[in-house]
Each structure stands twice: as structure tokens, then as C-alpha cells.
């Protein structure tokens, strides 16, 4: 059996080793989460750009639709006249 003061030192070293392992795991988890966040932010930026492009296209389609309706109205009006 070790003397009490040596048992304290051994226990302290054991706990320090366990804490170092937990710290390393926590840092690894943090880095993994940071990587996931970066990927999610890139994906969000891409989706926002795509949304903007779709909105622009929708606006152009509405203008085209209005122009086609106007053209069809003129054609129909000309045929009846």
C-alpha cells in the first residue's frame, strides 16, 4: 500500500489524464461542429442565391405572361373585327 501523500499524487495524475482526454474529445467535437456549421452556411448561401435567381425568373415570366395575354387579346380583337 502506498503512503497517503503518494496515493493523492497518483489519483491526481489519473484525474488529470482523464480530464486531458475529455478536453481533447471536446476540442475534437468543437472542430467537427465548426466544420458542420461552415458547410451549412455555404449551403445556405447557395440556396439564397438560387432563391434570388428563381425570384428574378418568376418576375420575368410574369412580364412574359402579361405580354402574351396582351398579344392574344389583340389577335382575338383583330379576328372579330
Q: State the cell numbers at 80.
A: 372579330
* Cα–Cα dist 12/6, whole Å: 10
Nearest residue to 76 (alpha-carbon basis) of 61, 64, 62, 68: 68
Tell me the pLDDT tens digit for each residue of 26-63. 999 999 999 999 999 999 999 999 999 999 999 999 99
Closest CA to 2 of 20, 21, 19, 12: 12
Give residue-wise pLDDT tens across range 54-66: 999 999 999 999 9
Q: Cα-flanking dihedrals φ and ψ of residue 2, to 5°?
A: -80, 150
Amino acid at each position: 500500500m502506498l503512503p497517503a501523500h503518494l496515493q493523492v499524487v497518483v489519483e491526481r495524475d489519473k484525474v488529470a489524464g482523464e480530464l486531458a482526454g475529455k478536453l481533447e474529445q471536446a476540442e475534437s467535437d468543437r472542430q467537427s461542429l465548426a466544420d458542420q456549421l461552415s458547410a451549412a452556411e455555404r449551403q445556405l448561401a447557395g440556396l439564397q442565391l438560387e432563391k434570388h435567381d428563381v425570384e428574378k425568373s418568376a418576375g420575368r415570366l410574369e412580364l412574359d405572361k402579361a405580354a402574351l395575354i396582351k398579344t392574344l387579346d389583340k389577335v382575338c380583337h383583330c379576328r372579330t373585327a
